[in-house]
């Protein structure tokens, strides 16, 4: 698992879009650290082919690893594709404050006007993380 996680980190740092398919597959790895590192790497690469898989990771309520959910949100913000806006708006309701914060930041990065109402609703979120 350490090698797989470090490989994902390295691929993200290199930033070559040829790694997207392998990193998307790594989002389903048995190890939660590998899944999180794959999401981070996909965000760094910034290829919109990863949007669907990252949205799935963000939306996966069976995913007990909140790190994957917030790294998926951050990655979606870095990619900047408006196809992620609806899932990011939904993530503003996540029980985990890190996920909500990452979703709000991602929506800021994407800057899609359809997120304005949802973001205004969360101005009152008193979570320390937000």
Q: Express each pLDDT in 62-110 by its tens digit.
A: 767 788 999 999 999 999 999 999 999 999 999 999 999 999 999 999 9
pLDDT of residue 125: 65
pLDDT of residue 110: 96
CA 87/CA 38 separation, integer angstroms: 19
Model confidence over 9-58: pLDDT tens digits? 999 999 999 999 999 999 999 999 999 999 999 999 999 999 999 999 99
Q: Tokens standing for 121?
A: 């609703």
CA 68/CA 38 separation, integer angstroms: 9
Domain 2-124: which topology? 1.25.10
pTM of the full structure: 0.90
Q: Write the DSSP symbol of residue 95.
A: S
């Amino acid at each position: 698992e350490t090698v797989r996680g470090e490989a994902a980190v390295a691929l993200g740092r290199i930033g070559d879009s040829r790694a997207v398919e392998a990193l998307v597959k790594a989002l389903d790895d048995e190890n939660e650290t590998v899944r999180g590192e794959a999401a981070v790497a996909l965000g760094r690469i910034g290829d919109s082919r990863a949007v669907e898989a990252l949205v799935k990771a963000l939306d996966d309520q069976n995913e007990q690893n909140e790190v994957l959910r917030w790294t998926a949100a951050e990655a979606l913000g870095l990619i900047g594709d408006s196809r992620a806006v609806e899932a990011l708006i939904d993530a503003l309701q996540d029980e985990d404050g890190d996920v909500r914060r990452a979703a709000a930041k991602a929506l800021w990065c994407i800057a899609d006007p359809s997120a304005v109402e949802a973001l205004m609703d969360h101005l009152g979120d008193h979570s320390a993380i937000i």
